Amino acid sequence: MNPQLQELHRDHVNLAHVLHLLESLLGEVRAGEHIDLNALSEIVDYVQAYPDLIHHRREDVIFSVYLEHGTGRNELVDRLMAEHVLLLKKTQEIREHIEQWCNDSPVPRERVVAIIADYLQMQWDHLNLEESSVFDLLDQELEPDDWVRIEAAMPAATDPLFGKMMRQRFEHIFDRLVAA
């Protein structure tokens, strides 16, 4: 598999760990337990800082080059690019509800449960589709010249949670991931 796709796959594995943690926190919210707003905030911060703004942008570079070929499964790739925009909006919606909770605004627990559950379902479906269908397709159909162009256009990125230099603001969720 192309190194760019391998890197994106690694990101998916890392994001899966974070999504599992979010599922665990969602279970606590559903059960009426105390809500760890710090962990929820850090998860949203991480998703906004890396998967939403960097990882998806990197995928979109590859997807755009693929779409230039005008063959294959363009509708699938178009769908994934549209989901990147929608996932960004859904992450922001979670952020807004967490901020309301932090400000002691009356936000129904059921509403937050529904928003997070919807986000998780979409995120898992999105990751699974990329992993099960699209990455192999890209690896098979993109030519060496395409990968050279992709490499030149690819934004530089370092994962702020799983990279060599973990940002201090994500230490709380990192500790929870290690404990899990």
Res 109 pLDDT > 90:
no
Res 39 pLDDT > 90:
no
Res 180 pLDDT > 90:
no
pTM more than 0.85: yes
What mean pLDDT do residues 153-175 have?
71
How far apart (Å, rounded) are the C-alpha atoms in residues 118 and 66?
Answer: 29
Give me the sign of the Cα torsion angle 129, 70, 85, 150: positive
Total tally of structural domains belonging to the chain: 1
Q: How much is the pLDDT for 175?
A: 67
**Structural domain range at position 84:** 3-179
Q: Indicate which CATH number applies to the domain containing 130.
A: 1.20.120.520
**Residue 35 DSSP symbol:** P
Q: How much is the pLDDT for 71?
A: 75
Res 179 pLDDT > 70:
no
How far apart (Å, rounded) are the C-alpha atoms in residues 157 and 153?
Answer: 12
What mean pLDDT do residues 13-18 have?
94
Phi-psi region of 36 (alpha: psi -120 to 50; beta: other; left: phi over 0): beta
Q: How much is the pLDDT for 167?
A: 59
What are the DSSP calls for 118-151, one per residue?
HHHHHHHHHHHHIIIIIHHHHHHH--HHHHHHHH
What are the DSSP calls for 82-126, one per residue?
HHHHHHHHHHHHHHHHHHHHHTT----HHHHHHHHHHHHHHHHHH
Lowest-confidence range among 29-33, 81-85, 147-151, 163-167?
163-167
